[in-house]
Amino acid sequence: MLSILIYRSRMNGQLAQAELAELVRLARGANDARAVTGILLFDGVYFLQMLEGPDQAVQAVYERIAGDGRHTHIVRLLQDYAPRRRFAECGMRLLDLRTHPQGMDHLLLGDATPGADTLIGDRAYKLMQLFAAGRWRDHATESDDAAHWRFVRRAAPFPQSMVSMPSSAPCRFALQPIVDTTHGRISSLEALMRGPGNEPPHVCFAGMTQEQRYRFDLESKAYAFELASKVGIGSCKLSINLLPMSLVQIPDAVQRLAELIALHGLKPQQIMVEITEDEAITHLVPFKAALRRLRELGISVVIDDFGAGFAGLSLLSRFQPDKLKIDRQIVSGIHADGPRQAIVRAIVACCRSLGITTVAEGVETADEWCWLQAAGIDLFQGFLFARPVLDGVSPVTWPVAVDAAA
């Protein structure tokens, strides 16, 4: 099976002509030994490399390259299979675009490859052509180096960071900050359900009938509001998670939510409801009616886990939330993943046109955050900044530009 892989990267520092030639010579030798062939395109700053060969050999070569400090911002753009090699004759061909701005096509195909014409117009070909023509920049996000940032931990700006909750409560909540790193402020706190012994949310709902689950989900929010009120969130917002059916199936659910909010001294304008289920789509009419009541009270609506499971374009096309949270699976490793980057860029553009605030969930590394903020994501949530804390709020780790810190 012939595997192909294309990545793009940025040169780290300067590379003299002779050094480039030497680099290619060494790569050629290493690749030959593994039956890997390919081409390296270079525009003076950026590389685009295509590798072709047996699956494991291509992976091994890519991993070695990814660990090479002579280039940074390595993004895997394509991983696929092909019927035949394009560059069968050579372990690593070099195409320096500064000296060969023209006559690309025969190089991209391999001169004498039999049946090469069948490779014209495939994805690998299009990506190489886009790079060679310099048009790839219109479809990419150039992000900052994570090394330009350091992270500083500061206590959360609330009167209490840990509070005590009634021990008889059937559930508890953990709070996790959602942060605006541009302005160094906590935008909201998400209340995540926990069992009496700190069990995860799905355990809290286990063993209940559908009916009980919806009722419990709604009534549990009393403890989330009580916690927020004891922490003293002030004018900060509070995000709660609700099964859409809790709003649809329970008569006067929105009215009950409003009562609980008022009971704990919070304002409806401070509350955001996160929803994620497919039920929202299958019961669209009553669901939209519940949303209308939420909006009338001033409560915001958030689509959670966008891009995972049922929270997708279909839901977004039917109703537009105030906020959209991009699922952790898409965010994970995004700084090095071409397909995920393309998807998030499109989500950001879409949300901009609609006035929807974007949140990236599950941000765990500085590299991920650097890319996401360059792409225009508004808010961030994840272990990089703060973990959820039971009955309290953890300090927040803020990015500070290294220059600004000096």
Contact residues toward Mn ion (CB under 5 A) are 241, 274, 304-305, 361
Q: Does 119 bind ligand C2E (CB under 6 A)?
A: no
Q: 15 in helix, strand or coil?
A: coil
Residue 337, strand partner residues: 76
Q: Does 389 bind ligand C2E (CB under 6 A)?
A: no
Q: Does 200 bind ligand C2E (CB under 6 A)?
A: yes
Q: Does 58 bind ligand C2E (CB under 6 A)?
A: no
CB of 317 to ligand C2E, least distance (A): 21
- Contact criterion met (CB below 8 Å) for 163 and 231: yes
CB of 147 to ligand C2E, least distance (A): 21
C-alpha span between 367 and 399 (Å, rounded) = 12
Residue ranges of E strands in 118-236: 149-154, 172-180, 185-194
DSSP tag of 13: S
Count of residues of this chain found to bind ligand C2E when the rule CB under 6 A is applied: 23
Q: Does 208 bind ligand C2E (CB under 6 A)?
A: no
- Contact criterion met (CB below 8 Å) for 169 and 216: no
User: Binding segment for ligand C2E among 24-32, 135-143, 236-244, 284-292 (CB under 6 A)?
Assistant: 236-244
Q: Does 362 bind ligand C2E (CB under 6 A)?
A: yes
Q: Does 81 bind ligand C2E (CB under 6 A)?
A: no
The item of Mn ion, ligand C2E, none sharing an interface with residue 338, based on CB under 5 to 8 Å by kind, is none
CB of 307 to Mn ion, least distance (A): 10
The item of Mn ion, ligand C2E, none sharing an interface with residue 388, based on CB under 5 to 8 Å by kind, is ligand C2E
Integer angstrom CA distances of residue 77 from 171, 341, 356, 396: 45, 9, 28, 33
CB of 53 to Mn ion, least distance (A): 39
C-alpha span between 327 and 99 (Å, rounded) = 43
Q: How far is CA 181 from the centre of its chain?
A: 16
| DSSP H or E segment with residue 287 | helix 284-297
HSE toward the beta carbon, residue 246, CA cutoff 13 A? 25
Query: Which of 95, 193, 272, 324 lies at the binding interface for ligand C2E (CB under 6 A)?
Result: 193
Integer angstrom CA distances of residue 352 from 13, 127, 311, 345, 377: 35, 27, 19, 11, 10
Q: Crossing angle of helices 55-66/17-33, nearest 10°?
A: 150
Alpha-carbon torsion (220, 328, 189, 356), positive or negative:
negative
Q: Which is nearer to ligand C2E, 119 or 375 (CB)?
A: 375
The item of Mn ion, ligand C2E, none sharing an interface with residue 192, based on CB under 5 to 8 Å by kind, is ligand C2E
Footprint of ligand C2E on 241-260 (CB under 6 A)? 241-243
CB of 202 to ligand C2E, least distance (A): 7
Q: Does 192 bind ligand C2E (CB under 6 A)?
A: yes
Site track 261-280 with ligand C2E (rule: CB under 6 A), x = hit:
-------------x-x----
Q: Which is nearer to Mn ion, 43 or 274 (CB)?
A: 274
C-alpha span between 17 and 14 (Å, rounded) = 10
Please identify the residue of the shown chain whose CB is closest to the bound Mn ion: 274
The item of Mn ion, ligand C2E, none sharing an interface with residue 254, based on CB under 5 to 8 Å by kind, is none
**Which two tokens mark 175?**
């709070």
C-alpha span between 370 and 399 (Å, rounded) = 10
The item of Mn ion, ligand C2E, none sharing an interface with residue 242, based on CB under 5 to 8 Å by kind, is ligand C2E
Instruction: Give the closest residue to 307 by CA, choosing from 272, 345, 364.
Output: 345
Q: Which is nearer to ligand C2E, 201 or 339 (CB)?
A: 201
Which residues fall within 8 angstroms of residue 207, CB to CB, at 6 or more apart? none
Residues engaged in binding ligand C2E (CB under 6 A): 176, 192-193, 200-201, 217, 220, 241-243, 274, 276, 304-305, 328, 361-364, 381-383, 388
